[in-house]
Amino acid sequence: MTDRWLIFLNNELLFWTEQEDFANFNDIAEEDRANCEMLKNVEGFTGPQLVRLIVDGSGNKIPQVYERPPPQLD
């Protein structure tokens, strides 16, 4: 199984990578880093989906994988 690291900004997936060297906040603006989180190998995530973090009743952030909405012309 290929490892995948997911980087979240403000509870929304910002980017993901299969290379640990890229699993960091280095390219994120300093002021945003406090709002970033990283998870490894989120169940159900294979790449094309979107992921967001939701807070459960205990206050824990749980990743929620959801399908990308159909493309909309800009």
Partner 1 sequence: MSHHISNNTETTASQNGVDLTAAKADIVAIKAKTDQITITNPANISTMESGIATNVSGINGILNHSIDSNLKAFVDANSNKVGITTTQANNITTNNSKVGITTAQANNITTNNSKVGITTAQANNITTNNAKITYPSSASTKLALVGITSSVNLNSLVSQSNANVSAIAANTNAYPQFTNLKRLYNQGGDIYNDGKIKFAWNATSRQLQFYVLDIPSGEYLVGGVEKWEGTSRTSVATYLSQGESTAYKYFTSPQTSASSSVVNTTFNLTTSYARVMYFLHPYNELNYPSYEITILIGSTLGYHQISIKKFSN
**Among 8, 16, 42, 53, which residue interacts with partner 1 (rule: CB under 8 A)?**
16
Quick one: which segment of 16-24, 37-45, 54-62 binds partner 1 (CB under 8 A)?
16-24
**Among 1, 2, 27, 57, which residue interacts with partner 1 (rule: CB under 8 A)?**
27
CA distance 12 to 49: 12
Note whether 66 binds partner 1 by CB under 8 A.
Answer: no
Burial 9-46 (b: 16+ CB within 10 A, else e): bebebbebeeeeeebebeebeeeeeeebeebeebeebe
Site residues, partner 1 (CB under 8 A):
13-19, 21-22, 27-28, 47-48, 68, 71, 74
